[in-house]
Amino acid sequence: MILLVNRDEHNAHDVTIGLTSLPRLGEWPSVTSSQMLPSDDIYRTNTADEPDGVTLQPLSAALDEGRMTVSLPPVTWASVRFTA
């Protein structure tokens, strides 16, 4: 699992991570799940009155020849789980 964060309040950022140093048996790793917790307000939280103020959303993660690439919207926490 890889955890990522974009603390920038105004800009999305693309992130590329090399996975070539990970052990593999023939094939490159594959993504088993990827999700993010985005918010347009850095101070927004879930409350009793608004329990879904911040919710998990799907995140597109691409794997290509040992590199994983994701695009993180502003103020986003994300996780990508993959098989090695």
Query: The pTM is what?
Result: 0.80
**pLDDT band (50, 70, 90) for residue 82:** confident
Contact 17, 63 (CB under 8 A): no
User: Torsions phi, psi of 53, nearest 5?
Assistant: -60, -40
pLDDT digits 0-9 by tens, 17-52: 988 777 765 677 788 899 999 988 888 899 999 999
Residue with token string 């597109």: 60
Nearest to 37 by CA among 83, 80, 67: 80
